[in-house]
Amino acid sequence: MASSTTDISPDSSVKAQLLEVMSSRFLPYETIVTDAVLSLDEDTVLSTTEVDFAFTVWQSFPERIVGYPARSHFWDSNKERWGYTSKWTNDYSMVLTGAAIYHRYYHHLYTNYLPTSLKSMVDQLANCEDILMNFLVSAVTKLPPIKVTQKKQYKETMMGQSSRASRWADPDHFAQRQTCMNKFASWFGAMPLVHSQMRLDPVLFKDQVSILRKKYRDIERL
């Protein structure tokens, strides 16, 4: 796997300018030679076992975003607009790229397919790049992302970081993400995000119990 934040710019001034904008996270860097991209925020805490598990799941679903922190969208009938929520519910429609694996092809689509207006909005706000990537992938696949579970909840880990916690608790930050949701949906012409309730746990995923000992022997083929 390769990191989406690999430093390949030969000129330090150009490099600094690129890294100042959020969209630089999804540039199609030539140094990414693997199909899988492991995308992590600087304060994300995952064990190597959790990374390995996410990669194993991604190998079965390479067209989707596979990761840990999940979010959801909903239609607010009172305001007649799309809403964004980080509440822990039974379903989700986004997996944030702060701890996720996806195919490097989406870097090409993000950079070359999405309009400058949306990417400029992301860069000006320094926010919503993860939402936009989820919109893009779901628009292409017509499928939801896949959430994998970890021993220590991502939310607890994230909120343990003071600088990160203040950002996520900022009402302006949350309001910006609401605005992004509706701006993105308007450009795509519809809401491409798809809800899902599937969560894959490392204890249960493709367990090693002999297929001959299972009561439902065809369950692995579902």
| Alpha carbon distances (Å) from 46 to 9, 149, 150, 217 | 28, 11, 8, 33
Residues with Cβ < 8 Å from 155, sequence gap 6 or more?
A: 69, 86, 88
Q: Indicate the burial class of 163 (C-beta count within 10 angstroms; 0-12, 13-18, 19 or more).
A: exposed
Nearest to 1 by CA among 103, 94, 69: 103
Catalytic residues: 130
Across 181-207, b (16+ Cβ under 10 Å) vs e yields bbbbbeebeebbbbebeeebebeeeee
Nearest to 180 by CA among 115, 102, 117, 121: 121
CA distance 94 to 146: 8
